Chains A and B, each alone.
Chain A
Amino acid sequence: MSTVSLPTGTEPGPGAPVVPSAAGRRVGRRWYRQPALMSGLVIIGLIIIAAVAAPLLTSYNPTTQNLTASLLGPSAHHLLGTDQLGRDTFTRLLYGLRVDLRIAFIAVLFPFVLGTVLGSLAGYFGGWVDVIVMRLVDIVVAFPFYVLVIALVFVLGPGERSIYIAITIVGWVSYARIVRGEILVAKRQEYVLAAQSGGLSSLRIMGRHLLPNVISQAFIYAMSDIVQDILAIVTLGYFGLGVPPPTADLGSMINDGQNFLSTHWQLTTIPGLAVVLVGLGLSLIGDGLADILRPGQS
Chain B
Amino acid sequence: MSEPEGREAPRRRANQEMLTNEQLNPNVLEVEDLRVRIASKRGVVRAVDGVSFEVPRGEALGLVGESGSGKSMTLKAVLGVLPPEAHMASGQVRLDGTDLVRLSQSTLNRVRGPKISMIFQEPMSALNPVMRVGQQISEGPRIHLGYSRARAEERTLDLMRRVGIPDPERRYRAYPHEFSGGMRQRVMIAIALSCEPEIILCDEPTTALDVTIQDQILRLLVRLCQESGVSLVFVTHDLPVVAQVCQQVAVMYGGQIVERGDVHDVLLNPRHPYTLGLVRSAPDVEYVQDSLRPIPGAPPSLIDPPDGCRFHPRCDFAEDDCRTGTVPLRLLDGGRATRCLHYERCGEALAADRAAQGATQ
Q: Does A190 contact B (CB under 8 A)?
A: no
Nearest B residue to A9, CB-CB: B68
A6 to B300, CA, bound (A): 11
Interface residue count on the A side (C-beta < 8 Å): 14
Which of B41, B68, B283, B301 is A2 in contact with, Cβ under 8 Å? B283
A6–B299 contact, CB under 8 A?
A: yes
Once A10-B40, A10-B42, A13-B42 are accepted as A-B contacts, the answer to whether A5 and B299 lie under 8 Å apart by CB is no
Report if A8-B67 is in contact (Cβ < 8 Å); known contacts: A1-B284, A2-B282: yes
CB distance from A35 to the nearest CB of B (A): 14
Q: Please name 26 pairs of A and B residues whose Cβ atoms are closer than 8 Å in the assembled complex, sorted by A.
A: A1-B240, A1-B284, A2-B240, A2-B278, A2-B282, A2-B284, A3-B281, A3-B282, A3-B294, A4-B66, A4-B277, A4-B278, A4-B282, A4-B294, A4-B295, A5-B237, A6-B299, A7-B298, A7-B299, A8-B67, A8-B68, A8-B299, A9-B45, A9-B302, A10-B68, A10-B303
Closest to A298 in B: B41
Starting from the known contacts A2-B239, A2-B285, A4-B277, 6 additional A-B residue pairs (CB-CB under 8 Å) come to: A1-B240, A1-B282, A2-B278, A9-B45, A10-B68, A12-B42
CA distance A5 to B71 in the complex (A): 13
CA distance A195 to B153 in the complex (A): 57
Cβ-closest chain B residue relative to A13: B42
| B237 A4 Cβ-Cβ under 8 A | yes
Note all chain A residues with C-beta closer than 8 A to B295: 4, 6
Chain B interface, DSSP helix/strand/loop, else mixed: loop
Interface positions of B (Cβ within 8 A of A): 40-43, 45, 66-68, 211, 237-240, 277-278, 281-285, 292, 294-295, 298-303
Chain B proximity of A12: nearest CB distance (Å): 8
Q: Which residues of B contact A9 (CB under 8 A)?
A: 45, 68, 299-302
Residue among A10, A12, A298 with the most chain B CB within 10 A?
A10
For A2, A12, A298, the residue with the greatest tally of chain B CB atoms inside 10 Å of its CB is: A2
List the B residue with the shortest CB-CB distance to A16. B42
Q: Which residue of B lies closest to A12 (CB)?
A: B42
Chain A residues contacting B68 (CB-CB under 8 Å) are 8-10
List chain A positions with a Cβ less than 8 A from chain B. Answer: 1-13, 298
| Chain A residues whose C-beta falls within 8 Å of the C-beta of B240 in the assembled complex | 1-2
Within the complex, the shortest CB–CB distance from B313 to chain A, in Å, comes to: 13
Q: Which residues of B contact A12 (CB under 8 A)?
A: 42
Rounded to whole Å, the gap between the CB of A10 and the closest CB of chain B is 6
B67 touches A2 (CB 8 A): no
C-alpha spacing A22/B216, complex, angstroms: 50
Contacts of B40 in A (CB 8 A): 10
Q: Is the beta-carbon distance between B301 and A10 smaller than 8 angstroms?
A: yes
- Taking the nearest CB of chain A, how far is it from the CB of B65, in angstroms? 8
A3 and B239 CA atoms in complex are apart in Å by 10
Could you tell me the distance between the alpha carbons of A4 and B278 in the complex, rounded to whole angstroms? 7
Query: What residues on A are CB-neighbors of B67 within 8 Å?
Result: 5-8
A290 shortest CB reach to chain B, Å: 18
